[in-house]
Amino acid sequence: MGPTFITLEGPDGSGKSTQAALLAERLRQIGLPVVLTREPGGTSVGQKLREILLNPDIKLSVMTEVLLMAADRAQHVQEVIKPALENNMVVVCDRYIDSSLAYQGFGLLGEISQVKAINETAIDGIWPDLTILLDVEPEAGLRRHRQAESEAGRSQCSGRTNGLDRIEQRDLQFHQRVRDGYHVLTRMYAQRFVVIDTTRLQIETVAQKVWEAVAQRIKAAHG
């Protein structure tokens, strides 16, 4: 069937959520059963963890943030991802282990060994078959994100400044480390990564590139 576990990654404002939804739709159109999910917050326990993780009024230590992200992931793997894969469904996940490696590893700690070890325990051997990195300069991404959030009226929500959550509010240097970190990951895990530069591209054009990456793998798997 080709890649069954597909993850979308990228800096904030890279358009992952839109692209994840469009990809899921397209896979359904060719008759594949799809589960579309996301992190943090892909389960009801995860929803509660997401509220804690993203609330700017809550101060978390670095290790608490690492562990809560991993806890969200562990629950998500056992409750949603693993059962879906066992039922031969295609799982499209908006963020997964690479987000923790990029944000908590490269972004907060400056290296990934500890975050990687913790997350390897959380994912129980379930690595993505294909990871699509939607790349964007942090400045452009945050601008795009702020605009989308204010159009959705989210700046009025509790604790958000300019519509940005606790992690998005970090300084540009943090977001630059995240972005650079993703590039390191694409070299570490070159087999499963496909990079799409989304700068100045329309949603439809990015969607087409995402689809080409997925379709190529499906074709390759069919020999």
The label of the residue with tokens 């509660």 reads 48
Distance between CA atoms of residues 92 and 38, nearest Å:
8
Q: Among 37, 99, 131, 186, indicate the residue that binds ligand TYD (CB under 6 A).
A: 99
Nearer to ligand TYD, 54 or 84 (CB): 54
Residue 52 corresponds to which tokens in the numbers above? Answer: 């804690």
Residue closest to ligand TYD (Cβ):
103
3-state helix, strand, coil in the chain (%, to 5): 55, 15, 30
Strand-strand pairing, 130-135 and 34-38: unpaired
- Residue with Cβ nearer ligand TYD (73 or 209): 73
Of 2 and 128, the one with the shorter C-beta distance to ligand TYD is 128
Binding segment for ligand TYD (CB under 6 A), chosen from 27-35, 100-108, 130-138, 190-198, is 100-108
Identify the CA nearest to 18 among candidates 165, 178, 152. Answer: 152
Note whether 40 binds ligand TYD by CB under 6 A.
Answer: yes
Structure tokens at 50: 């997401």
60 vs 218, beta carbon nearer ligand TYD: 60
Stretch that binds ligand TYD, among 19-27, 35-43, 187-195, 211-219 (CB under 6 A): 35-43
- Give yes or no for residue 115 binding ligand TYD (CB under 6 A): no
**Under rule CB under 6 A, which residues in 53-82 are in contact with ligand TYD?**
54, 69
- Tell whether residue 95 is a contact of ligand TYD (CB under 6 A): yes
Residue 10 contacts ligand TYD per CB under 6 A: no
Write out the binding residues for ligand TYD, residues 192-211 only, by CB under 6 A. Answer: none
Closest C-alpha to 192, from 166, 217, 164: 217
Nearer to ligand TYD, 2 or 12 (CB): 12
- The secondary element (H helix, E strand) that includes residue 94 is strand 90-94
Residue for token digits 């944000």?
A: 103
168 binds ligand TYD (CB under 6 A): yes
Q: Which of 7, 36, 112, 165 binds ligand TYD (CB under 6 A)?
A: 165
Q: How many CB atoms lie within 10 A of CB 214?
A: 21
> Is the bond preceding residue 40 a cis peptide, omega within 30 degrees?
yes
Identified binder of ligand TYD from the candidate list 3, 7, 9, 12, rule CB under 6 A: 12
Per-position b or e across 60-83, b if 16+ CB within 10 A of its CB: eeeeebbbbbbbbbbbbbebbbbe
Residues at the contact surface with ligand TYD, assessed by CB under 6 A: 12, 17, 38-40, 54, 69, 95, 99-100, 103-104, 165, 167-168
